[in-house]
Amino acid sequence: MSVRHTLRPRNGALAAAMVVALAFAVAGCGDGGKDGKTNAGSSSQSKSSPSGKGQQTDTSAASPDPTVKLAEATGEGGVVLTINSVKRDSGGFLTVAGQVKNTGADDFVATSPWAGTERDVLASGDSVAGATLVDKVGKKRYYVLRDTGGKCLCTMGISSIKAGQTVPVFAQFPAPPNGTRDVDFQLPTFPTMTVPVSG
């Protein structure tokens, strides 16, 4: 009986020692480098790389070259819409990028028609989700793309534009066939603009 009592503590001590040794072994295997910087660097790069690409896409789309003017139209309240680029992306998308400028003396409250009337895109709130493209040759109309949550792949959060302020805008659409060289772009409250497609 005394033997059993002496064996149990030894077994418990042995188990504890094995747990500690195993913990050190796992920590050593997870190092992956001399100081652990290799793994941290590669994991941060792999995580930041996709988001970095997304930010670059959004930045280039939302900040078009203002010196390039493919088309321009004036809407209500003296707001001028300028289209700076209409580019095909390799993923089968077409991105329209431009800017809206309030040339009036008063602040302009963005109108709800810009956001469109479809129930699915109302989740985008104040946006340019109501924009459309028309391929006249292919006789097809294209609507702004949405993510899985129903939000548009376009500029959101435009509630008002101050007098003299310029706001970059963009909208992504399914790309028309490669043979399509120009499309009609329309944002509610603005006249239709025919713009060339590049890429």
In terms of domains, do 32 and 116 share one? Answer: no
Number of domains comprising the chain:
2
What DSSP string describes 23-54? HHHHHHHT--SSSSHHHHHHHHHHHHHHHHHH
Residue-number span of the structural domain to which 33 is assigned: 2-58
The pTM of this model reads 0.66
Q: What is the pLDDT of residue 64?
A: 60
pLDDT of 153-176, one tens digit each? 999 888 889 999 999 999 999 999
Mean pLDDT of 49-76: 60
In terms of domains, do 30 and 123 share one? Answer: no
In terms of domains, do 44 and 110 share one? Answer: no
Least confident of 71-80, 95-104, 105-114: 105-114
In terms of domains, do 114 and 30 share one? Answer: no
Taking residue 26's Cβ as centre, other Cβ atoms within 10 Å add up to 9
In terms of domains, do 28 and 97 share one? Answer: no
In terms of domains, do 33 and 16 share one? Answer: yes
Please provide residue 98's backbone torsions phi and psi, each rounded to the nearest 5 degrees: -170, -150
Which of 17, 41, 58 is at the close of a domain? 58
Most confident residue range from 24-38, 104-118, 120-134, 184-198: 184-198
* Tokens of residue 16, six digits: 């504890």
Mean pLDDT of 169-197: 94
